[in-house]
Structure 1
Amino acid sequence: MNLTLIRHIKTSAPEGLCYGQTDVALPQGYETIHVQLAEQLKNEAFHALYASPLQRCTLLANTIAGGRPVIFDERLKELNFGDWENQLWKDLEILPEAAVFFNDYVHVPPPGGESFQQMTDRIAQFMAELKTKHPRHNVLIVAHGGPIRIIHGLAEGLPIADYFKREVPYGHISQLHF
């Protein structure tokens, strides 16, 4: 399967806000940026388009799709930070449970949230299903930085602790064979 992965554009969330699965708004003028990104993909023929159901991905996916159907899948959401959602990192970093999380984010979830391992498991399940449904197709996925890093890490056979070494800027388009 040939994958094209695109990360949503930068949101209008305040700098330093923890917003994994919080549905934050996009900045004014986001439509223009979405059209520019869609233009970069206009010559690509996608058999299927998948996206996270959070609006920062759905709006971009729908622009790229140009009226074609998009499949929104909960498993493509960013990490669930639980009780930490919509709080500033500077306020969270001083909490006693934050040290435990930061020392082993792969296995330790934030309070009420999920660990990176749990997120990796849901993305791996999604990818296994996708590979079965679209073994030789071109597929587009619009998602967040975390899921995109995980997809690359799975495709490259990297250890889970190395997934975050990959840079995935906002609005970045990457391609890989899975």
Structure 2
Amino acid sequence: MRLHLIRHPKPLIEAGICYGRHDCPAEDTASAAAMLLAELPAGLPLWSSPLRRCRDLAELLHPQPVIDNRLAEMNFGAWEARRWNDIPRVELDAWAADIAGYAPPGGESPRQLQRRALDFVASLDVPEAVIVTHAGVIRTLLAHWQGLPPERWTELNFAYGSCTRVDVPR
């Protein structure tokens, strides 16, 4: 199965804010959509995260995007919409010590995010699809398919509004 994994455009949020599930719009979705439409194959089914920064783009790319909660960004719980500098250092250190397994208070771990994203992909029954989602979702999926250990997950970076193509074995 071929997947076109699209990261949403840059969020309209102040720099330095933890914004995983925080529902904010994105910058210039129309320009991102025009660029992506020029490179995507026509007529593919499209799924999107429910968060506005993805959903707004998805609606410009497809007349009937399917919204799926499993494509939402990581739930940062008590860290959501807080400045990274205001998050207790001990919590950030605990996350750094267990990058895949640590869950912020009231949130989810990257490993939990990965499980729900993989569950979503396993539910697809199409030869090719477009998915509008977040860096965390794309990162954990590619890390799984590439067999990367958690300490290397942060090496996978994706530009805002970019499309990463991947062939997923069935």
* TM-score in terms of structure 2 length: 0.91
Q: Distance in 1 between matches of 2:43 and 2:112?
A: 29
Percent of paired sites with the same residue: 35
Matching residue of 1:161: 151
Q: Displacement of 1:54 after TM fit?
A: 0.4
Matching residue of 1:58: 55
> In the alignment, which of 83, 103, 108 is matched to residue 114 of structure 1?
108
CA contact (8 A) 1:46 1:138 kept: no
Amino acid at match of 1:53: P
Matching residue of 2:11: 11
Matching residue of 1:100: 94
Q: Distance in 2 between matches of 1:45 and 1:30?
A: 19
- 1:27-86 CA-to-partner distances (Å, cap 9, x unmatched) read 3x4323332322332xx0344211101011011111111x2x211111111110001100
Task: Report matched runs for 1:15-164 at 5 Å.
Answer: 15-27=15-27, 29-41=28-40, 44-65=41-62, 67=63, 69-92=64-87, 94-130=88-124, 133-134=125-126, 137-164=127-154
- 1:106-157 CA-to-partner distances (Å, cap 9, x unmatched) read 1110010001111111111111112xx12xx111001000111122222223
Q: Specify the SS of the correspondent of 2:137.
A: helix
Paired residues in the alignment total: 168
Q: Specify the SS of the correspondent of 2:129.
A: strand
Q: Distance in 2 between matches of 1:168 and 1:32?
A: 18
Q: Distance in 1 between matches of 2:3 and 2:9?
A: 19
5+ residue gaps, structure 2, are none
CA contact (8 A) 1:26 1:56 kept: yes
Amino acid at match of 1:75: R
Q: Distance in 2 between matches of 1:115 and 1:6?
A: 22
Pair 122,82 (structure 1): closer, same or farther in 2 beyond 3 Å: same
Q: Specify the SS of the correspondent of 1:50.
A: strand
Work out whether 1:175 is the aligned partner of 2:170: no
Pair 157,97 (structure 1): closer, same or farther in 2 beyond 3 Å: closer
Q: Specify the SS of the correspondent of 2:164.
A: strand
